[in-house]
Amino acid sequence: MGPDPGTVTNVAPWILTVAASTLDRSFPAHVVFNRTRAEGQSLSATWLRGKGFYTMVNAADAAAPGHSPADAQVCSMGSLDSEKVTGKIVVCMRGGSPRVEKGEALSRAGGVGMILVNDEASGHEVIADAHLIPAVHISHADGVALLAYINSTKDPKGFITKAKTTLGTTPAPVMAAFSSQGPNIVNPEILKPDVTAPGVSVIAAWSGAAGPSSMPYDHRSVAFNTQTGTSMACPHVSGIVGLVKTLHPDWSPSAIKSAIMTTALDPGLVYDMAAKDYLNFLCSLGYNASSMAIFNEGPYRCPDDPLDPLDFNYPSITVLDLAASQPPAAARRWVRNVGPAPATYTAAVVREPDGVEVTVTPATLTFATTGEVRDFWVRFAVKDAAKAADYAFGAIVWSDGTHNVRSPLVVKTTLE
């Protein structure tokens, strides 16, 4: 669904919504051209032999008869003219067809290697695929430089190096371009996604019944493969949920979710909720009696004093339409001590949203026993509405010196 804003789905507050990001392992291969060495990603099992350079061609300039340059540019199957690509490295644009299929298309036309270039929307996110031919996936910026060289040179030459494995890649994690983004257009008061997890080039067990590309023409057999998608990120978090549940079998789903969103296995404090809290949240959104009965599997009477959505006890806090002419917005939260007691936690605004002043009251919470609950309020006052008109982000942290419980803050102001 990504990378457009507002594409995130599965946004109900009782669901743990997982985004996908990179990790600090990469599979680099390089494009060498015009005294330049551009790094990309690849898991090609084959590579160009020798040290000689190959002629490169822009796929858009190699359209087969009856095919448009647009089809050829993305290396659609059958779109390339074999007379123009045979023995050459072909530059294909991302999109329009599966990444590995592009290499198969140019291989059938006689090409010997592929450079896959990101479109502008995909930016710097490159993916290591098990290509069937020597290939490398490079960023949009490197692709622009490469195509500028090809378009300005009579006989452009280049080379694709053999793919390797490196650890400790920085920066990491980086959000994947394909990962769906907020804001949450169903319930804007709830920040989504909740967390991110590794979802790019994740190594996983693989059935030998299908090739690593899953394409019908891929007859290779491997025991492990790399996969990319939120379908890789979500199992990471599902496994963490299982580990936390094993360690704390008496914790509620919301407590487990809070631990994952705010810190780790030993959170110290959790933002806990029961089923009635979710039902009251639905009441605050105007759900009628028949809808509430479906969620509750029976009649449910909404409270006479409806819940302010800002006070819904979510581990993150989102404030919308904050105006300088109005009183500061105040979000009420309560936390349960699941760590040792006695304990004292102190609040710190580790990052204020741009243009907004954040105050936590009280700034200290004291717990005499494990399981004890304490309330606090987070107030938001506009200092410069223009700086937060298109969302601004921050965070607060409760700490007892050992545990650090971090809650994201999101603010969107109204210009008056």
Report how many domains make up the chain. 3
Does residue 276 sit within a domain?
Answer: no
Say if residue 157 is in the same domain as residue 39.
Answer: yes
pLDDT of residue 16 exceeding 80: yes
In a domain, 265, yes or no: no
Q: What is the pLDDT of residues 34-55, one digit of tens each?
A: 999 999 999 998 999 877 899 9
Using CB atoms within 10 A of its CB, is residue 46 exposed (0-12), middle (13-18) or buried (19+)?
Answer: middle
Last residue of a domain, one of 125, 142, 165: 165
Residues 181 and 85 placed together within one structural domain of the fold: no
In this structure, the answer to whether residues 196 and 149 fall within a common structural domain is no
Domain boundary among the residues 165, 186, 217 is at 165
Print the domain residue range for 113.
25-165
Give the residue carrying structure tokens 């985004």. 19
Q: Name the average pLDDT for the chain.
A: 95
Closest CA to 132 of 215, 60, 206: 215
Report the C-alpha gap between 127 and 140 in whole angstroms.
Answer: 13
Residue with tokens 């299982």: 242
Q: How many CB atoms lie within 10 A of CB 152?
A: 9
The pLDDT assigned to 125 comes to 86
Asked whether residue 154 is domain-assigned, the answer is yes
212 shares a domain with 180: yes
Q: Is 404 helix (H, G, I), strand (E, B) or coil?
A: strand
Is residue 54 located within the same domain as residue 101?
yes
Q: For tokens 């803050």, name the residue.
A: 409
Per residue in 76-118, pLDDT (tens digit) is 999 999 999 999 999 999 999 999 999 999 999 999 999 999 9
Residue 5 lies in a domain: no
Asked whether residue 79 falls in the same domain as residue 157, the answer is yes
Average pLDDT score over residue span 279-283: 95
* 320 and 351 assigned to the same domain: yes
Instruction: Decide if 278 is inside a domain.
Output: no
Question: What is the domain-level CATH number for residue 102?
Answer: 3.50.30.30
| Cα 194-242-236 angle, rounded to 5 deg | 55
Q: Kindly state whether residues 123 and 195 are assigned to the same domain.
A: no
In a domain, 252, yes or no: no
Angstrom distance (rounded) from CA 348 to CA 379? 13
Tell me whether residue 264 is in a domain: no
Q: Is the pLDDT assigned to residue 1 strictly greater than 60?
A: no
Q: Is the pLDDT reported for residue 311 higher than 70?
A: yes
Q: Round to whole Å and give the CA distance between 336 and 272.
A: 7
pLDDT tens track for 238-261:
999 999 999 999 999 999 999 999
CATH of the domain at 384: 2.60.40.2310
Domain membership flag for residue 273: no
Last residue of a domain, one of 165, 185, 208: 165
Lowest mean pLDDT among 172-181, 332-341, 385-394: 172-181
Q: What is the pTM of this model?
A: 0.87
Do 35 and 145 belong together in one domain?
Answer: yes
Residues 136, 175, single domain; the answer is no
